[in-house]
Chains A and B, each alone.
Chain A
Amino acid sequence: MNDKQEMYYKVRDFICKVTRKQELKDDDDIFEGGIINSLFAMQLVLFLEKQFNIRINGTELKRDNFKNINTIVKFLEEKQSKL
């Protein structure tokens, strides 16, 4: 499994576990209908920071980056390529 795949599965596992949605599709809005669960949003940010050893700064913290599994993985890739 390459790095990208591993990243994908880690993100997916975390989100499915917290939202308790096993059948979540990669482009399903994880904040269903834009209802932001503050705790989940914070948990997601903290998880990504810890798991991938990054610091997500104020300008990156927007919903477009965290809408679905695809956008999160894309965001992580871009973030890591800048390291």
Chain B
Amino acid sequence: MKTERNKMDKVDIKKEQKIKCVVWDLDQTIWHGILSEDENVMVNNLAKATIIELDNRGILQSIASKNNAVEAMKKLKQLDLDKYFIYPQINWGPKYKSIENISKLINIGLDTIAFIDDQEFELDEVKFNFPEVMDINSKDLANLLMKEEFIPRFYTKDSQRRREMYQSDIKRKQDEEKFSGSQYDFLKTLNMEVEIFPAEIEDLNRVEELTMRTSQLNSTGYIYTYEELCNFINNINYKLLIVNLRDCYGDYGRIGIVLIELRKHEWYIKLFLLSCRVMTRGIGGIVLNYIKELSQKSGVKLYAEFRETEKNRMMFTTLMFNGFSKAEGLNDNYLVCDNLSTEAVPSYISLKCVE
């Protein structure tokens, strides 16, 4: 077994810090005036245009406002802006608390959040508690869209639909919490459709994005550049597969990748990753099942490379529970799949595979 990796395998891409969520104040920011004093406040057109464009760029948006929540949401609806915000925090508590809530609810770091307000003391209070949050005064709104932090490295179909995907996630979670049956009974209600197919050129930006965003369900943590990924597609010694998931709440989009190195007698899974949004859906087993099936058909032995990181024990557990194991004499960074027999896909999941 080859223990040394090609130079090609890993390239460190320094992750430029991009803003993933913009948190807006309402009074004197999204609209002119103060809602509690004047129910006919006028929208700030620059703010509105900025909100629409940020949404288009796949940047999430939320609200931290000291206001009456019912009145404020009513006004946003009137202005046709309500749909752009997820987890709006409209209450009388300190705004740094609201921002902290948003960061937890969306599961993103505070250093990927920007906060816009017209009041110096609100900006200062947030800055004091969370210096990593980017603060922006509403009067500087005009050049926000030109700032580097708000320009995504690339636009993918999935990033453009990111807000909608979060919204269907929120609905899904709410329903799951209300659901009275078991976890598995809930899965049965979802009408999940899994698709596995070879990556094409137009998928590669999303593949690159996933390799950078995914840490828990990631078998090696390798990050490949666009060019390297292109080479895999054109190289008959590699198979680069994409996993897409859809359910009755909507399309999750492309949520998983498998990169397999195909040798004559052995296949090596070099990278297997799944978005953490699907970690309760049993997708890992379904994908691995499919790869086992393919390797059995090709008459090869199946291995998976696994590199332990601080965060990926969940992927290790997933691999081990799906028939991979450590073996004596096998390099520490590899797991072997001794039994390629596969289990039937449950009747409540539809699986479509394109070879």
The tally of CB-CB contacts under 8 A between chains A and B is 76
**Is B318 touching A41 in the complex (CB atoms < 8 A)?**
yes
With contacts A20-B181, A21-B182, A41-B321 taken as known, whether A35 is within 8 angstroms of B187 at the C-beta atoms is: yes
With contacts A19-B183, A32-B184, A34-B343 taken as known, whether A39 is within 8 angstroms of B320 at the C-beta atoms is: no
Complex CA gap A55/B181 in Å reads 32
What 0/1 pattern do residues 269 to 312 of B give for CB contact below 8 A with A?
00000100001111011100000000000000000000000000
In the complex formed, the residue of A with least CB distance to B342 is A34
Q: Which residues of chain B have C-beta atoms less than 8 A from A33's C-beta? A: 343-344, 346
What 0/1 pattern do residues 48 to 90 of B give for CB contact below 8 A with A?
0000000000000000000000000000000000000000000
Q: Does A2 contact B (CB under 8 A)?
A: no
> From residue 30 to 77 of chain A, which have CB atoms closer than 8 A to chain B?
31-42, 45, 58-59, 61-63, 66
Interface of A is mostly: helix
Q: Does B331 contact A (CB under 8 A)?
A: no
Q: Which residues of chain A have C-beta atoms less than 8 A from B217's C-beta? A: 38
Complex CA gap A45/B274 in Å reads 20
A19, A20, A38: the one within 8 Å of B279 (CB) = A38
- Closest CB of chain A to B61's CB: distance in Å? 27
Q: Which residues of chain A have C-beta atoms less than 8 A from B285's C-beta? A: 34-36
In the complex formed, the residue of B with least CB distance to A42 is B314
B183, B322, B325, B326: the one within 8 Å of A36 (CB) = B322
**Is A35 touching B282 in the complex (CB atoms < 8 A)?**
yes
With contacts A38-B279, A38-B280 taken as known, whether A62 is within 8 angstroms of B183 at the C-beta atoms is: no
Q: Which residues of chain A have C-beta atoms less than 8 A from B323's C-beta? A: 63
**Is A38 touching B184 in the complex (CB atoms < 8 A)?**
no
**Is A38 touching B320 in the complex (CB atoms < 8 A)?**
no
Closest 8 CB pairs of A and B: A35-B282, A61-B320, A21-B182, A42-B314, A39-B279, A38-B279, A34-B343, A38-B318
**Residues of chain B having any CB pair with chain A under 8 Å:** 181-184, 187, 217, 274, 279-282, 284-286, 313-318, 320-323, 325-326, 343-344, 346
**Residues of chain A having any CB pair with chain B under 8 Å:** 18-21, 31-42, 45, 58-59, 61-63, 66
18 pairs, CB–CB < 8 Å, chain A vs chain B: A20-B183, A31-B321, A35-B282, A35-B346, A36-B284, A36-B321, A36-B322, A37-B183, A38-B280, A38-B315, A38-B318, A39-B280, A41-B321, A42-B313, A42-B314, A42-B317, A61-B321, A66-B321
